[in-house]
Amino acid sequence: MQLRRYYDVQEWLVLVYKLPPEPSRYRAAVWRRIKSLGAIYLQNGVCVLPYGRDTERQFRQLRKEIEDCGGESFLIKGTLLVGEQNLIELFNAARDEEYAEIIDRCEDFFKEIEMETESRHFTYAELEENEEDLAKLEKWMKKVIERDFFQASLAEKTKELLQECRTRLDEFADRVFVCEDSMHKKPECMES
């Protein structure tokens, strides 16, 4: 998994918006969308992204969605006179929270593989379940990397742990193949 290059920020996009109080589902949908873009809230209804063609396009689309819901919005492009390092730290803290969640899930994945190995539960069904779990983690990681504009501190560790998940899954798969493909059950394949 390729980690994103550090953004060289010179300009920022600021989206200022206001939505009607009802229905509340509009506010929830906009909040989820802003989070999925990796934007940071400076205060209610004011969020920021580093300027780029992609981020501008995403904020423009979101602005239209806000106005389609009966809201008002303004999209501002400009430079930050002071506090840029603090803003970058806010972005990195938000991404590190997401990476920490993935790290926790990697630890859960390791425990699952250990448990299945200890119980000698080497079946194709178990392998498929673990492959699906790892695919979800990898998909999640890809999304976080896409919004990790400033190379948050936990990015590399998370990438390494996901690679370790892949390695352990491959080792588990090898044991499944040996056990499932053998005509006679070997002792290492017998459930304890």
Regarding whether 59 and 98 lie in a shared domain, the answer is no
Spans in the chain with pLDDT lower than 50: 1-6
Whole-angstrom distance, CA of residue 50 vs CA of residue 149: 8
Q: What pLDDT is attached to residue 181?
A: 77
Residue with tokens 């390791």: 110
DSSP-assigned states of every residue in 111-171:
HHHHHHHHTT---HHHHHHHHHHHHHHHHHHHHHHHT-TT--TTHHHHHHHHHHHHHHHHH
Regarding whether 110 and 28 lie in a shared domain, the answer is no
Question: What distance separates the 2 farthest-apart alpha carbons in the chain?
Answer: 73
Enter the pTM of the model: 0.86
The DSSP secondary-structure symbol of 147 reads: T
Regarding whether 63 and 28 lie in a shared domain, the answer is yes
Q: What pLDDT is attached to residue 58?
A: 95
Q: What pLDDT is attached to residue 81?
A: 87
Regarding whether 57 and 124 lie in a shared domain, the answer is no
Any domain includes 149: yes
Any domain includes 5: no
Domain boundary among 35, 63, 79: 79
Q: What pLDDT is attached to residue 182?
A: 73
Q: What pLDDT is attached to residue 103?
A: 98
Which CATH number covers residue 53? 3.30.70.240
Regarding whether 153 and 111 lie in a shared domain, the answer is yes
Any domain includes 188: no
Tens of pLDDT along 22-76?
Answer: 888 999 999 999 999 999 999 999 999 999 999 999 999 999 999 999 999 999 9
* Enclosing domain of residue 172: 86-183
Regarding whether 131 and 62 lie in a shared domain, the answer is no
Any domain includes 119: yes
Strands 72-78 and 12-18: antiparallel
- The three-state DSSP-derived secondary structure of 39-85 is CEEEECCEEEEECCHHHHHHHHHHHHHHHHCCCEEEEEEECCCCCHH
Q: What pLDDT is attached to residue 3?
A: 44
Domain boundary among 42, 57, 79: 79
> Which SS3 state, helix, strand or coil, does residue 13 take?
strand
Domain boundary among 42, 58, 79: 79
What's the number of domains the chain is made of?
2
Q: What pLDDT is attached to residue 2?
A: 46
